[in-house]
């Protein structure tokens, strides 16, 4: 059985439909999961049975939570940069790090899109997805969502974040062409994943660097690329993760066309609700580190209850951390987050 009631409720919430309770959704991946299970991070990336067992444990312990993206085949942030030649460093107790390639923006503006069937770590991840998708389905689990790092995040790993952001002001036409190629890569990478996961019903785009640009530069140089990505996958549930504080962009971001926005806990929920009401559903907004990792279950519960009350229990909020599940998050704090969604207002 592959029916996932929590995912069905998540889809209703993403469409801003009234649900029985506030839905809880969490982005869970390799920064948290190997430590939770007490295994070597490399083993999580290498051994399918351990990967499957850990993901199964999430669905079994917390069936009421929508796990985003579900059973995720990933190597931290390494997949997309590796397709363009970035050096990747692997570790036993944390996700891999990425060493920027650097180089002149003129060089990067001419770069061809990556081919997900042959470049970097992409074909290995795709093979894992294709082989494991039937097994995941047979076990009653889900691969709900295809995932990709956004063009600005990938670009920052290639030419370096400072040269890229400076280029918005000094060489905007080169930045635009660079992002155009990366956007084509992103779309191709997402589509290749969907081809391997026949039951997937959504996409997740993760790009924290978006929050570091001005509104003027965002609208001129970046918004068209995000719109192209999300518009390509209209009809699917489209989730955008950006947990860099970027309240200055909240009026513009929903025009990109996503359905759900996972944003920074450092941005006031009331501001986000006022800017995005009726345009996108918010996914947050409990602090992932200060409370999710370092707080007590009682503190997590109180913060989550405050979010629910502030949203008034109306469509527009999916309860979560203001970011992914951070390394070291104790299960008891997940329990508290879930309880806060289930108690009466």
Q: Where are the domains positioned within the chain?
A: 5-342
pLDDT of residue 103: 85
Report pLDDT digits (tens) over 87-122: 999 999 999 999 999 989 999 999 999 999 999 999
Average pLDDT of span 286-311 = 96
87-89 and 97-99 strand pairing? antiparallel
Helix, strand, coil shares of the chain, percent, nearest 5, are 50, 15, 35
Is the pLDDT at 6 greater than 70, yes or no? yes
pLDDT of residue 202: 98
- Mean pLDDT (the chain, rounded): 95
pLDDT of residue 314: 63
pLDDT of residue 21: 86
CB 30 within 8 A of CB 95: yes
Q: Which two tokens stand for residue 89?
A: 């460093």
Report pLDDT digits (tens) over 277-290: 889 999 999 999 99
Task: Express as a percent the part of the chain with pLDDT over 70.
Answer: 99
CB 31 within 8 A of CB 76: yes
Residues sharing a CB contact under 8 Å with residue 17, sequence separation 6 or more, in sequence order: 315
pLDDT of residue 345: 64
Residues sharing a CB contact under 8 Å with residue 339, sequence separation 6 or more, in sequence order: 301
pLDDT of residue 2: 46
Residues sharing a CB contact under 8 Å with residue 36, sequence separation 6 or more, in sequence order: 54, 329, 331
Report pLDDT digits (tens) over 122-160: 999 999 999 999 999 999 999 999 999 999 999 999 999
Q: Kindly tell me the number of DSSP H helices and DSSP E strands found in the chain.
A: 15, 10
Q: How confident is the model at residue 20 (pLDDT cuts 50, 70, 90)?
A: confident
Q: Which two tokens stand for residue 134?
A: 């039937």
Is the pLDDT at 169 greater than 70, yes or no? yes
Between helices 122-138 and 172-196, what is the axis angle to 10°?
40
The residues with which 285 forms a beta bridge, in sequence order, are 320
- CATH class (in words) of the domain with range 5-342: alpha beta
Integer angstrom CA distances of residue 231 from 58, 115, 142, 190, 255: 31, 21, 24, 13, 10
Is the pLDDT at 1 greater than 50, yes or no? no
């Amino acid at each position: 059985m592959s029916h996932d009631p929590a995912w069905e409720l998540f889809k209703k919430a993403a469409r801003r439909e009234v649900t029985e309770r506030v839905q809880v959704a969490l982005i869970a991946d390799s920064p948290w999961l190997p430590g939770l299970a007490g295994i070597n991070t490399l083993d999580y990336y290498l051994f399918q049975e351990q990967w499957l067992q850990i993901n199964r444990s999430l669905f079994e312990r917390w069936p009421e939570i929508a796990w985003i993206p579900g059973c995720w085949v990933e190597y931290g942030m390494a997949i997309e940069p590796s397709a363009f030649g970035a050096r990747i460093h692997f570790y036993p107790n944390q996700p891999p790090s990425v060493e920027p390639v650097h180089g002149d923006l003129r060089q990067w503006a001419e770069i061809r899109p990556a081919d997900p069937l042959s470049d970097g770590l992409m074909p290995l991840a795709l093979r894992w997805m294709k082989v494991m998708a039937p097994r995941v389905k047979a076990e009653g689990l889900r691969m709900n969502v295809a995932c990709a790092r956004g063009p600005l995040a990938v670009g920052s790993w290639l030419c370096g974040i400072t040269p890229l952001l400076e280029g918005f002001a000094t060489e905007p036409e080169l930045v635009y062409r660079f992002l155009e190629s990366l956007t084509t890569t992103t779309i191709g990478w997402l589509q290749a994943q969907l081809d391997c996961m026949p039951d997937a019903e959504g996409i997740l785009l993760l790009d924290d660097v978006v929050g570091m640009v001005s509104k003027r530069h965002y609208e001129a140089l970046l918004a068209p690329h995000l719109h192209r990505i999300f518009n390509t996958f209209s009809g699917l549930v489209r989730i955008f993760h950006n947990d860099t504080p970027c309240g200055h962009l909240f009026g513009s971001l929903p025009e990109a066309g996503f359905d759900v926005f996972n944003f920074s806990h450092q941005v006031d929920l009331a501001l986000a609700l006022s800017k995005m009401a009726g345009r996108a559903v918010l996914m947050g907004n409990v602090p992932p580190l200060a409370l999710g990792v370092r707080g007590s279950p009682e503190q997590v519960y109180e913060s989550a209850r405050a979010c629910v009350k502030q949203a008034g229990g109306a469509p527009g909020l999916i309860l979560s951390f203001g970011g992914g599940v951070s390394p070291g998050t104790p299960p008891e704090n997940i329990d508290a987050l879930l309880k806060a969604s289930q108690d009466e207002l």
